[in-house]
């Protein structure tokens, strides 16, 4: 998934969350446990993090790490 697409989706979700909280709506967290107060944009952020973690390490970075290890 593209980073720009995820970031745009997170921004829209954050805006909706703020609007709902201002109106005292369902996502306001009133009378709910800590897990229920998790903001809507958190799932988008988790998806972004997961996609970055799953990306392979670039060869140039592997080479750099190897060279640094060799100097020890």
Most confident of 3-12, 18-27, 60-69: 60-69
In the chain, what are the domain boundaries? 3-70
Percent of the chain with pLDDT over 70: 50
Residue pLDDT, tens place only, 38-55: 888 999 999 999 999 999
Residue 55 phi/psi, 5-degree rounding, is -70, 140
Per-residue pLDDT averaged across 29-43, rounded? 72
Q: CA-to-CA distance for 14 and 27, rounded, in angstroms? A: 11
């Amino acid at each position: 998934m593209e980073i720009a697409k995820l970031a745009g989706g997170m921004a829209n979700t954050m805006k909706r969350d703020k609007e709902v909280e201002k109106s005292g709506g369902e996502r306001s967290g009133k009378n709910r446990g800590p897990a229920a107060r998790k903001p809507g944009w958190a799932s988008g952020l988790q998806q972004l993090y997961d996609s970055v973690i799953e990306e392979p390490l670039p060869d140039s970075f592997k080479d750099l790490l190897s060279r640094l290890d060799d100097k020890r």
